[in-house]
Amino acid sequence: MQISRRHLMSSLAAAALLPQAVRAQEPPPPFPIPAVPPLETEDYAVARKHFQTKLLRFGPSPEQAPPLGEPAGARKVLYPSGQDGALKLIAWVSHYEPSTQLKPAVLFLHGGNATGDGHWELVMPYAKAGFVAMLPSFRGENGQAGNYSGFYDETSDALAAAEFLENLPGIDKNRIFLAGHSNGGTLALLSAMTRTFKAATPISAGVSAWRYFGRFRKEMPFDPSNERELIMRSSVCFGTSLKCPTLLLRGTEERPFDANDQLLIDRARSAGVSIDHRLLPGTHNGVVPGAVEESIRFFRHHGA
């Protein structure tokens, strides 16, 4: 009887462990992830002119968040984006007095799929350092109009925000800098491959849409069987298109730089782009304050 009970208990224990083991395994990706993402020789800005994403799902950002107000130290503005500027999206701009002495500016692209006052607090060091800081929201976020596309049309919003920023009174168009964290870092890379900024510091950026949407498949609003959809969201494929000095930053306690990051760097350097990467103390979110300070030093080194 004791032997039967032991066998029974062992079987039950094994059965109890099995679901945990299955849960611990990451589910297979919904599409093949290339060991080496393809290299696109066409300039990314040109490629964007020939491509339009086809969404299978239309709706807001996957992250719910309340409507945007006006945090301390910020002025709320509406910048036009979308076809013929039909979308009027909210951005925050730091307070400044326009003068004949033109000011440098930083466009900071927030992490996640919504924004809030906490993101603005991360941007304030730029204003204190003498930059005009702008933090845009994107289509479908915080109850705004437009459809979430997973980095592609949001890149269009970031570019529209950059154009809005450089045309503000008292801004030096030749000293527009770019930074962004997490999803915003991903958008910063794609934006810096489309138009010229003075310098860029993507923080904790993703460079491969295969990797991102393999992990966050529920956020994917397009058909992954069309490889072009993934290529056009992957900066690693367009490393030679990077148009400004770039410093990739990441925290020591988050996912490290990997082969895709190095491939992006190698491809950019092959085109003569000044690009480097650096680890700073911190987690994925905890690294941001230190990375912002590092970006200020980098921007000053490049003419801020």
Residue 14 inside a domain? The answer is no
What span, in angstroms and rounded, lies between the C-alpha atoms of 117 and 121? Answer: 7
Residue 32 inside a domain? The answer is no
pLDDT tens-place values along the chain, 304 residues long:
343 444 433 333 333 333 433 334 455 556 889 999 999 999 999 999 999 999 999 999 999 999 999 999 999 999 999 999 999 999 999 999 999 999 999 999 999 999 999 999 999 999 999 999 999 999 999 999 999 999 999 999 999 999 999 999 999 999 999 999 999 999 999 999 999 999 999 999 999 999 999 999 999 999 999 999 999 999 999 999 999 999 999 999 999 999 999 999 999 999 999 999 999 999 999 999 999 999 999 999 999 9
Residue 16 inside a domain? The answer is no
Total domains, the chain: 1
Question: Cβ of 112: how many Cβ atoms within 10 Å?
Answer: 17
Residue 19 inside a domain? The answer is no
What span, in angstroms and rounded, lies between the C-alpha atoms of 113 and 132? Answer: 24
Range(s) of the domain holding residue 133: 37-301
Residues 6+ away with beta carbon under 8 Å from 293: 125
Q: What is the CATH number of the domain that holds 268?
A: 3.40.50.1820
Residues 6+ away with beta carbon under 8 Å from 87: 80, 81, 139, 144, 145, 146, 157
Residue 228 inside a domain? The answer is yes
C-alpha distance from residue 258 to each of 41, 60, 146, 277 (Å): 22, 31, 34, 11
Contact status, residue 234 vs residue 40, Cβ threshold 8 Å: no
Collapse the DSSP code of 290 into the 3-class scheme (helix H, G, I; strand E, B; otherwise coil) and give the result. Answer: helix
Residue 123 inside a domain? The answer is yes
The tokens describing 183, both together, are: 């999803």
Residue 279 inside a domain? The answer is yes
- Fill in the amino acid letter for 285: N
Contact status, residue 124 vs residue 94, Cβ threshold 8 Å: yes
Q: Characterize the bridge pairing of strands 275-280 and 87-94.
A: unpaired
Residues 6+ away with beta carbon under 8 Å from 282: 251, 252, 253, 254, 288, 290, 291
Residues 6+ away with beta carbon under 8 Å from 192: 178, 200, 202, 242, 243, 244, 246
Could you identify the residue written with the tokens 């082969």? 259
Q: Which residues pair with 279 in a beta bridge?
A: 250
Residue 12 inside a domain? The answer is no
The tokens describing 192, both together, are: 């810096």
What is the pTM for the complete model shown? Answer: 0.90
Contact status, residue 167 vs residue 138, Cβ threshold 8 Å: no
